[in-house]
């Protein structure tokens, strides 16, 4: 399989089914920094990214928003001082789809490696 961060999202129809637990576990193994959470009885991929200040956190959130527009797949972004929490899931199917794993990998790729953790 291709590297998730190099793949592109595909349209999701109402006939598409959410990933099974087996599919989720297989794919989340490719994303060691992400956590599987359940909100409103739906599985989501979630990760908190730390930054040195609010401006750096905001810049990262804007970049993820631009990436979401490019791929036509949109996350929940929570921006606060020194941190951005990103949650991916597919609203239409109320669960996880390959697109969520692709976008999680792309989000990781955008995180600046040299960014120091928030104090």
Instruction: Read off the CATH number of the domain in which 57 is found.
Output: 3.30.1360.20
- Residue 64 inside a domain? The answer is yes
- Residue 41 inside a domain? The answer is yes
Q: Which of 92, 95, 116, 104 is nearest to 41 (CA)?
A: 95
Enumerate residue ranges in the chain where pLDDT < 50. 1
- Residue 53 is predicted with a pLDDT of 94
- Residue 112 is predicted with a pLDDT of 81
- State the first-to-last Cα distance of the chain, in angstroms, to the nearest integer: 39
pTM, two decimal places:
0.92
Range of the domain at 84: 19-110
**R_g of the chain, CA atoms, integer Å:** 14
How many domains does the chain divide into? 1
What CA dihedral angle connects 27, 28, 32 and 37, to 10 degrees?
A: 170
- Residue 57 inside a domain? The answer is yes
- Residue 3 inside a domain? The answer is no
- CA atoms of 104 and 85, how far apart (whole Å): 12
- Residue 118 is predicted with a pLDDT of 53
- CA atoms of 45 and 56, how far apart (whole Å): 22
Q: Which of 82, 76, 36 is nearest to 59 (CA)?
A: 82
- Residue 67 is predicted with a pLDDT of 98
- Residue 1 is predicted with a pLDDT of 46
- Residue 117 is predicted with a pLDDT of 58
- Residue 6 inside a domain? The answer is no
- Residue 70 inside a domain? The answer is yes
Q: Please, what sign has the CA dihedral across residues 64, 8, 12, 27? A: negative
- Taking a C-beta distance cutoff of 8 angstroms, is the pair 119, 82 a contact? yes
């Amino acid at each position: 399989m291709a590297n998730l961060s190099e793949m592109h999202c595909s349209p999701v129809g109402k006939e598409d089914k959410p990933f099974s637990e087996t599919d989720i576990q297989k794919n989340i193994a490719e994303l060691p920094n992400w956590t599987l959470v359940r909100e409103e009885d739906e599985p989501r991929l979630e990760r908190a990214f730390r930054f040195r200040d609010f401006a750096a956190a905001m810049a990262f959130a804007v970049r993820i928003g631009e990436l979401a527009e490019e791929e036509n797949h949109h996350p929940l972004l929570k921006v606060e001082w020194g941190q951005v929490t990103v949650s991916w899931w597919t609203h239409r199917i109320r669960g996880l789809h390959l697109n969520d794993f692709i976008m999680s990998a792309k989000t990781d790729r955008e995180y600046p490696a040299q960014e120091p953790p928030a104090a």
